[in-house]
């Protein structure tokens, strides 16, 4: 498993470095990495990420939920071909570093960078004063090459993490999946619930929602889920349960499977939103609707295969 490393004081090996936040590691991010790998095949491929996300520090009054936790991001970057993931804490000192000092100190001196790969809108340094043009000028004087990727577009719109967040928040999973290049995923620990699903004939695993990670809009979803081993079809409820109280929950009903899962980690690959959550006047009507949701999930997942076994 790929782990984050602190930026070394001095790298002995020359590196190729992809710069960005890489939240979600979407198709645009993958192009930045692929271009770096193609040009710098003899260099150690690494990614440099500021953490916490600069927007979370600079605009604390505007909460930002991320598409990936740091461990998830490291695994996705590794799958894209990155060998070293470097985390640079976004401290007051780093925040105040000029664009030129950032390049000289972090990229040249500490990472021994010979190749830098960025998207065309990449900004860096104090108040984001550095841009691609400055990065290229510094590269020429300091002895490293800069490769720049154009924006990847889908449906005429550039792919961005901000756009994907909006789509997930609206429950538009198909749109988000095409931009990510995979199903959006959430993982959490199975915690004890009130066993109401079992009493209704549809036992569920209740997942603790990960802190700071975006979850889709409330509703009923078709999904794939696994604890370990193979992916299994699942009907998922996200949000409050009107008949049983306002507390939001993530409930996963594994179709055709039953096991004691308490305390285990479960991954959920979100496939499609079936409907919004609704209040039912009686338990029999609720049970009938759940049965219909499960049947619709089974039909849908026959056409939507599970993620690759090793994918996150």
Joined together, the tokens standing for residue 201 give: 């004939």
Strands (E), 1-62: 4-6, 15-19, 44-51
Q: Is residue 177 part of a domain?
A: no
Give the pLDDT of residue 245.
Answer: 45
Q: How many CA atoms lie within 13 A of 245 on its CB side?
A: 6
Residues 88 and 187 in one domain: no
Neighbour tally for 284: CB within 10 Å: 9
Helix (H, G, I), strand (E, B) or coil at 6: strand
Residues 22 and 130 in one domain: yes
Residues 13 and 145 in one domain: yes
Q: Is residue 173 part of a domain?
A: no
Range of the domain at 28: 4-153
Q: Is residue 85 part of a domain?
A: yes
**Inter-helix orientation angle 161-169/173-180, to 10°:** 160
Give the pLDDT of residue 198.
Answer: 62
> Which CATH number goes with the domain that contains 122?
3.40.50.620
Residues 207 and 288 in one domain: yes
Last residue within a domain, chosen from 136, 153, 170: 153
Give the pLDDT of residue 115.
Answer: 98
Those residues with Cβ within 8 angstroms of residue 219's Cβ, 6 or more apart along the chain or in another chain? 171, 237, 238, 239, 273, 274, 275, 276, 277
Q: Is residue 44 part of a domain?
A: yes
Give the pLDDT of residue 159.
Answer: 96
Residues 147 and 189 in one domain: no
Residues 198 and 143 in one domain: no
Residues 43 and 147 in one domain: yes
Phi first, then psi, for residue 92 (nearest 5°) are: -60, -35
Q: Is residue 45 part of a domain?
A: yes
Residues 149 and 204 in one domain: no
Q: How far apart (Å, rounded) are the C-alpha atoms in residues 200 and 100?
A: 63
Q: How far apart (Å, rounded) are the C-alpha atoms in residues 174 and 154?
A: 12
Residues 192 and 122 in one domain: no
Residues 83 and 145 in one domain: yes
CA-wise closest residue to 249 among 258, 240, 257: 240
Residues 126 and 211 in one domain: no
Q: How far apart (Å, rounded) are the C-alpha atoms in residues 44 and 47?
A: 10
Last residue within a domain, chosen from 153, 169, 194: 153
Q: Is residue 158 part of a domain?
A: no
> Which CATH number goes with the domain that contains 237?
2.40.30.30
Neighbour tally for 76: CB within 10 Å: 26
Residues 83 and 213 in one domain: no
pLDDT in tens, the chain (312 residues): 889 999 999 999 999 999 999 999 999 999 999 999 999 999 999 999 999 999 999 898 988 999 999 999 999 999 999 999 999 999 999 999 999 999 999 999 999 999 999 999 999 999 999 999 999 999 999 999 999 999 999 988 999 999 999 999 999 999 999 999 999 999 999 987 666 656 677 889 999 887 889 999 999 999 999 998 899 999 999 987 544 444 457 999 999 887 778 889 999 999 999 999 888 888 889 899 999 999 999 999 999 999 987 544
Q: Is residue 166 part of a domain?
A: no
User: How many domains does the chain fold into?
Assistant: 2
The pTM (predicted TM-score) of the whole model is 0.91
Q: Is residue 162 part of a domain?
A: no
Q: How far apart (Å, rounded) are the C-alpha atoms in residues 266 and 268?
A: 7
Instruction: Say if CB 48 and CB 88 are below 8 A apart.
Output: yes
């Amino acid at each position: 498993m790929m782990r984050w490393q602190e930026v070394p004081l001095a790298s002995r090996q020359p590196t190729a470095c992809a710069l960005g936040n890489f939240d979600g590691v979407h198709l645009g991010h993958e192009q930045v990495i692929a271009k770096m790998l193609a040009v710098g095949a003899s260099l150690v491929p690494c990614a440099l990420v500021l953490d916490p996300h600069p927007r979370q520090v600079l605009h604390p009054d505007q909460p930002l939920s991320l598409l990936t936790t740091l461990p998830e991001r490291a695994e996705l970057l590794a799958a894209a071909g990155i060998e070293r993931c470097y985390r640079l804490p976004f401290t007051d000192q780093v925040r105040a570093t000029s664009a030129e000092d950032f390049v000289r100190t972090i990229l040249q001196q500490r990472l021994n960078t010979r190749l830098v790969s960025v998207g065309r809108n990449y900004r860096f340094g104090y108040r984001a004063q550095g841009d691609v043009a400055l990065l290229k000028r510094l590269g020429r004087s300091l002895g490293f090459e800069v490769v720049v990727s154009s924006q990847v577009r889908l449906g005429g719109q550039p792919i961005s993490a901000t756009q994907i967040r909006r789509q997930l928040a609206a429950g538009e999973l198909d749109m988000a999946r095409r931009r990510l290049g995979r199903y959006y995923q959430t993982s959490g620990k199975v915690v004890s619930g009130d066993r109401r699903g079992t009493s209704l004939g549809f036992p569920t695993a209740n997942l603790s929602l990960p802190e700071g990670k975006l979850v889709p809009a409330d509703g009923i979803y078709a999904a794939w889920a696994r604890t370990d081993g193979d992916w299994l079809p699942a009907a998922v409820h996200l949000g409050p349960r009107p008949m049983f109280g306002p507390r939001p929950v993530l409930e996963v009903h594994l179709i055709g499977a039953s096991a004691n899962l308490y305390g285990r980690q479960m991954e959920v690959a979100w496939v499609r939103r079936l409907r919004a959550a609704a209040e039912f006047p009686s338990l029999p009507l609720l049970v009938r609707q759940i049965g219909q949701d499960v049947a619709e999930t089974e039909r849908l997942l026959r056409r939507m295969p599970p993620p690759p076994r090793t994918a996150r």
